[in-house]
Amino acid sequence: MNLLRRTAFPLLLLVLHAFCSAAQTKVTIPIETAQNALVLQTDQDKHLSIIYFGKKLAQASEYDLVSAQSRQRDGNAGIYNSAYTPAGSWSISEPALQVTHADGNKSTDLVYVNHQTTREGDNVVVTSIQLKDPAYAVEVTLFYKTYSRENVVEQWSLIKSAEKGEITLNKYASANLYFPGKDFYLTHYNGTWAREMNPEEEQLTAGIRVLDSKLGTRANLFQPPSFQLSFDNPATETEGKVLLGTLAWSGNFRMDFEVDSYHNLRLIAGINNYASEYPLGPGKDFKTPSFIYTFSENGKGEASRNLHNWARKYRILDGEGSRLTLLNNWEATYFDFNEEKLSGLFKDGKKLGVDLFLLDDGWFANKYPRNDDRAGLGDWQENVKKLPHGIGYLVKEAKNAGIKFGIWVEPEMVNPKSELYEKHPDWVIRQPQRPEHYMRNQLPLDLSNPEVQNFVFGILDKLFTENPDIAYIKWDCNAITFNAHSAYLEKNKQKQSQLYVDYVRGLYKVLEKLRAKYPKVPMMLCSGGGGRVDYEALKYFTEFWPSDNTDPLERVFMQWEYSYFFPALTQSAHVTDWGKQPLKFRTDVAMMGKLGYDIVVSHLNEKDLQFSQQSVATYNAIKDVVWHGDLYRLIDPKKNDFASLLFATKNKDRAIVLSYLVSNRNGAGSDMAVRLQGLDAGKKYKVKELNLYPDSKSPVREDQVYSGDFLMTAGFNPVVNARRASVILEILEIK
């Protein structure tokens, strides 16, 4: 009522008019989390619009008042703010749904039928809203799954057809949102192989800004399906309205950001409809992937902590569990190894103190041995020259050395130089009448084909059945899809335009079956680096490989950007020989994620070995805080000489602060104290430097007691500089 009292008289009349005339037919549906609300409402024609997005109002009854104040009350209601914009009827905006009906008609309308809410425990509510086309037997159910405490919304659609003939879905978005605001700033990411996650922030102006990919087997090579969106002003870590959004789909995606004539923002996100008209037979339905987002009025830090909490609890396989540290042989040996060499590496892994040894590419194929990346992919029998006693022997040898054993596979792919290709050319994605086009000398197998799905499942199943002690899988996928064409779809008289979607669905079927039989084995999701980093794949994987670029300086930036969307325990970070930084720096950077090694341990000098052993032990002592704690990004390396970030336990009794120098200009370093976050102002803490290189001394006084208030207000200087390029601090409560 306050709002009404403050409102000018003419507007008041208008409000009441709008309210009264539509009173009989209007349905208001608030989708709420602890802090936020998305409110949908029908108009007199039963069209469903978004009337509110943002901080939740104290009184839900007042959402009704919002739409009446909107500039769209002038008769344009729904033109822009439709909750799921249909094409070809009354709307002329970019559609969420575009259908060609069985009779060839291309128009669709959607009106509200009913809705229901289902509670799943004390924190999760699913609201489903049924819409239908009044003229054609097509229905859409919009799903909004809210995770209240985490302020996360997962949104998807289910499109059903009861038409007598086949219809075609020309566009079929997961989510259609509408954000009121003054200005919008979109942070999206660009990159390519080994250069993932370069952020760019731009103010959105009139027109449509599209983020998309058309890669087939993966979502990302040049642009990932994740973004940040600031409202009114660019948000900081601690201030401003910001939405973090990501599409849970491991294939082609498309997100349309459209600033409309009222300067509000429309967002339509989902599978890319590029070359992907999807046929839907009578009685069939199409479930879109989930678009996942969180909104905060308190900056990016809170938003990403919300997303991490959600992801660990509800999404990532074993998200609240533990992870294995490992030694990988990829950069240590590439394809050049044998049993003896590997046995030596097992012992090295043990000496280092890691949990597991990971055997990478090159262990398989005989007719065309996998001695480089030009041959053998697809022939998953142990190479008898390198491994005459098979994988079983290696697993045993590793066990004898006191270390677990994991193995690399790339089961979706084939080299033309392979027995698999010779035997099953029809399993390969290629245009029969065109020259083949390769990425890394290989082609994807056609996962729309159930036989291929069984083959891929069989590779893993055989490994596990024959070697039940295999403790880890690295699943790689190095090629994108050129020449998209499926012999299977052709043979079965299905549409080629299904291929991009059916490939990804085929992949998920395999992963589903695999997880039904092997629910726990940790698996790393790799796609020539970060090609597949999304929340659908992470239902099946415990972690991902952010990039083949392991130069620690680059990794500081990349891991920083990934951290907006994905918690640290999912980011595999290995110490390698990339870059010019000293071992201490490389190790400290890897501790920002899930620590692993890909070095020749026997090449380490005595001090480096001693330091590395100590690092693994240090990591084991802090990993619980890094993996399960709250992340605060304190000093942004993009704007400063150094980066600083902090992980704090939920009860604020312990925090780990990691700082990295990223510039060497003009005596770069931390001149000032860094204001910490995530502590308890009333608690007392001591500060201790961890992971010092042997014989070096820390300037940090361990006996000094600080209040949380001091550390968060005056701050603490980690003393990062050219002589101390990386610093890890532990902040421990004194009880």
Positions in the binding site for ligand DGJ (CB under 6 A)? 330, 360-361, 408, 476, 478, 526, 528-529, 545, 548
Q: Which is nearer to ligand DGJ, 532 or 584 (by Cβ)?
A: 532
The CB-of-335 to ligand DGJ minimum distance in angstroms stands at: 8
The CB-of-406 to ligand DGJ minimum distance in angstroms stands at: 12
The CB-of-484 to ligand DGJ minimum distance in angstroms stands at: 22
Q: Which is nearer to ligand DGJ, 237 or 410 (by Cβ)?
A: 410
Q: Which is nearer to ligand DGJ, 86 or 191 (by Cβ)?
A: 191
b (16+ CB within 10 A) / e for 506-518: bbbbbbebbbeeb
For residue 396, what are the CA distances in angstroms to 336, 339, 466, 498, 728? Answer: 21, 12, 12, 45, 37
Of all residues in this chain, which one has the CB nearest to ligand DGJ in the complex? 361
The CB-of-440 to ligand DGJ minimum distance in angstroms stands at: 8
CB 79 within 8 A of CB 92: yes
Q: Which is nearer to ligand DGJ, 374 or 396 (by Cβ)?
A: 374
- Rounded to whole angstroms, the Cα distance separating 143 from 120 reads 14
User: Judging by DSSP bridges, how do beta strands 356-359 and 404-409 pair with one another?
Assistant: parallel
- Rounded to whole angstroms, the Cα distance separating 495 from 507 reads 19
The CB-of-113 to ligand DGJ minimum distance in angstroms stands at: 48
Q: What are phi and psi of 190, to 5 degrees?
A: -125, 170
- Rounded to whole angstroms, the Cα distance separating 382 from 395 reads 13
- Rounded to whole angstroms, the Cα distance separating 253 from 733 reads 46
| 470 Cβ contact partners less than 8 Å away, ≥ 6 residues apart | 391, 395, 405, 406, 407, 463, 464, 521
Q: Which is nearer to ligand DGJ, 93 or 478 (by Cβ)?
A: 478
CB 728 within 8 A of CB 657: yes
Crossing angle (nearest 10°) for helices 339-352 and 390-401? 30
Fill in the DSSP letter of residue 437: -
Q: Which is nearer to ligand DGJ, 292 or 471 (by Cβ)?
A: 471
CB 709 within 8 A of CB 665: no
- Rounded to whole angstroms, the Cα distance separating 438 from 32 reads 48
- Rounded to whole angstroms, the Cα distance separating 398 from 387 reads 14
The CB-of-548 to ligand DGJ minimum distance in angstroms stands at: 4
Q: Which is nearer to ligand DGJ, 319 or 530 (by Cβ)?
A: 530
The CB-of-417 to ligand DGJ minimum distance in angstroms stands at: 15
- Rounded to whole angstroms, the Cα distance separating 575 from 522 reads 20
Q: Which is nearer to ligand DGJ, 184 or 597 (by Cβ)?
A: 597
The CB-of-679 to ligand DGJ minimum distance in angstroms stands at: 37
CB 491 within 8 A of CB 451: no
- Rounded to whole angstroms, the Cα distance separating 32 from 217 reads 35
Q: Which is nearer to ligand DGJ, 195 or 209 (by Cβ)?
A: 195
Q: Which is nearer to ligand DGJ, 408 or 472 (by Cβ)?
A: 408
The CB-of-352 to ligand DGJ minimum distance in angstroms stands at: 19
The CB-of-412 to ligand DGJ minimum distance in angstroms stands at: 13
- Rounded to whole angstroms, the Cα distance separating 499 from 14 reads 51
The CB-of-275 to ligand DGJ minimum distance in angstroms stands at: 27
> What is the 3-class SS of 383-396, one letter each residue?
CCCCCCCHHHHHHH
The CB-of-545 to ligand DGJ minimum distance in angstroms stands at: 6
Q: Which is nearer to ligand DGJ, 151 or 478 (by Cβ)?
A: 478
- Rounded to whole angstroms, the Cα distance separating 22 from 30 reads 18
Structure tokens at 107: 């128009």
Q: Which is nearer to ligand DGJ, 132 or 532 (by Cβ)?
A: 532
Task: Provide the β-strand partners of residue 706.
Answer: 685
The CB-of-476 to ligand DGJ minimum distance in angstroms stands at: 5
Tell the residue number behind the tokens 């080629």, with chain if given.
496
The CB-of-574 to ligand DGJ minimum distance in angstroms stands at: 9
Position 157: which residue type?
Answer: S
Structure tokens at 541: 């994987």
Determine if residue 298 is left, alpha or beta; phi over 0 gives left, psi from -120 to 50 gives alpha, anything else beta: alpha
Q: Which is nearer to ligand DGJ, 474 or 628 (by Cβ)?
A: 474
The CB-of-526 to ligand DGJ minimum distance in angstroms stands at: 5
Q: Which is nearer to ligand DGJ, 251 or 596 (by Cβ)?
A: 596
DSSP reduced 3-state for 333: helix
Task: Provide the β-strand partners of residue 36.
Answer: 55
- Rounded to whole angstroms, the Cα distance separating 485 from 498 reads 10
Q: Which is nearer to ligand DGJ, 391 or 625 (by Cβ)?
A: 391
Q: Which is nearer to ligand DGJ, 170 or 220 (by Cβ)?
A: 220
Going through 222-264 in order, the beta strands assigned E by DSSP cover 226-231, 241-248, 253-259
Structure tokens at 396: 């045993």
Structure tokens at 383: 């190479």
- Rounded to whole angstroms, the Cα distance separating 588 from 615 reads 8
The CB-of-250 to ligand DGJ minimum distance in angstroms stands at: 16
Tell the residue number behind the tokens 């760019």, with chain if given.
200
Structure tokens at 596: 């692993």
